[in-house]
Amino acid sequence: MRSGKSAEIKAGCLIVGDGRIMENANIGVRDGWIVEVSTGKLKGDYEELVDLSSKYVMPGLIDAHVHIRYGLKPDTEPKSDDYQTVRSLENARKALHAGVTSLGDAGAIRNVAFSVRNAVNDGVAVGPRLFVSGEMITMTGGRSKTPGQRLEVDGADSARKATRGLLMYHGADFIKLGATGAISSPHTGPRHPQLTVEEMSACVDEAHKCGKKVHAHCYGEKGISNSLEAGVDVIVHGQTLTEEHIRVMKQRSMVLMPTLKTFCGHMDHLGEGGVHDRIITTGIWEETKPNFRNALEKGVTIAMGTDAGMPDNAFGDNPLDLGYMVDWGMTPMQAIVAGTINAAYSLGVDDHLGTLEQGKHADLLVLKKDPRKDISSVWRSLEKIMLNGAWLT
């Protein structure tokens, strides 16, 4: 990833990413990093002065749950891994130009997402930073009816071996587990638990040894309980959260990734069949909003994750996830925090991403309008994007 010239950026309003605001702040950027931030004079000398004193500057968005290999509609015939890799690069590019400077890919097939991540990191292609789980770990038949199509495990030893393989052979950035069936896999019941506590505990043990987070795909109540017992870090979807789940998540500083863009998006396509209608027929939909609001009111950490790549859930409009969060009761600033530092935390990269502070990567967005007044300013008034200290053109 290339970095641009060193620069002093004068920001009219700096949205730090953790809920704080700094008026008339100066940001020093060198070699892709933020080296100082101050409302006074900067200490360093910089090659460029960038005057954004009438603008709003915020961290680049982090969409921590996507599936970059998919097209907008389900494939009518199988696509090769090469084809899916090319499509992934294009999806990642679209997200970047919408202001998403980091993506978390949660369950590509075989090596597709690893290849894309490595190509971007090597500078072969321009793209957002990619944090990649590799294949989702599921029980046999848990996601696909075709044998050998997924990383299937049975028993704790098998789960441990699969996790080690992802971490050691491929450098997985986090681990994704299938704790329940899925709406997008019609042969499964979204409320039915899948991986056992013992299987998930083995995965968590191996991931945590490497300092990596574990995300669990959960719809049904039992699957969430199993995930909490196994010690996962992030509950993805989480439609059936109970008071007890919320209490434990809050106590352990766990993350809820509600993937609202995908859920709310289904409602716009009702009657078209497939995954859109299953959200209604499985009865999962009604429980989503009250449980999300309860988790929000109780102070659970909530992070952005669009599930982009699911049917009709496009790359390029990823920031709409923040709009749905506000529609469902968050303040615009809470939504921004969900899309910046909380999303970085969910991926275990909050030490170097997620806020505009000294020691963080210089990934930032320049907005014409104040997103605290209207969250849609994040996408409607986006003027410039800096990735790793260089402006995108």
Instruction: By CB under 5 A, name the binding residues for Zn ion.
Output: 307
CA distances from 208 to 19, 103, 168, 205 (A): 28, 21, 13, 5
Nearer to Zn ion, 3 or 144 (CB): 144
Residue 107 burial (C-beta neighbours within 10 Å; 0-12, 13-18, 19+):
buried
Could you write out the DSSP letters of every residue in 269-318?
TTTS-HHHHHHHHTSHHHHHHHHHHHHHHTT-EE-----BTBTT--TT-T
Minimum distance between the CB of residue 41 and Zn ion, rounded to whole angstroms? 46
Q: Cβ 38 to Zn ion, closest distance in Å?
A: 40
Among 213, 215, 328, residue whose Cα is nearest residue 267: 328
Give min distance, CB of 147 to Zn ion, in A: 22
Q: Which is nearer to Zn ion, 60 or 107 (CB)?
A: 107
**Smallest gap, in angstroms, from Cβ of residue 165 to Zn ion?**
21
Structure tokens at 247: 């209490």
The nearer residue to Zn ion, 27 or 61, going by C-beta atoms, is: 61
Smallest gap from residue 65 Cβ to Zn ion (A): 6
| Nearest-approach distance from CB 177 to Zn ion, in angstroms | 12
User: Which residue, 200 or 356, has its beta carbon nearer to Zn ion?
Assistant: 200
Q: Write out the E strands in the chain.
A: 7-15, 21-30, 33-38, 48-59, 61-66, 100-105, 129-132, 137-139, 151-153, 174-178, 213-218, 234-237, 255-257, 301-302, 364-367, 382-387, 390-391
User: Phi-psi category of 202—alpha, beta or left, where left has phi over 0 and alpha has psi -120 to 50?
Assistant: alpha
When CB distances to Zn ion are compared, the closest residue is 307
For Zn ion, give the closer residue by CB, 46 or 315.
315
Yes or no: say if 55 and 377 are a contact pair by the CB < 8 Å rule.
Answer: no
Which lies closer to Zn ion via its Cβ, residue 118 or residue 184? 184
- Between 240 and 377, CB nearer to Zn ion: 240
CB of 137 to Zn ion, least distance (A): 14
Nearer CB in complex with Zn ion: 173/307: 307
β-strand pairing of 364-367 with 382-387: antiparallel
Neighbours of 392 (CB within 10 A): 12
Q: Token pair of 169, please?
A: 């052979």
Smallest separation, CB 259 to Zn ion (Å): 7
Residue where the block lists tokens 């969910």? 346
CB nearer to Zn ion: pick between 343 and 365: 343
Closest approach, Cβ 106 to Zn ion, in A, equals 5
The half-sphere exposure of 118 on its side-chain side, counting CA atoms within 13 A, is 10
Distance CA 328, CA 287 (A): 13
End-to-end Cα distance, the chain: 15
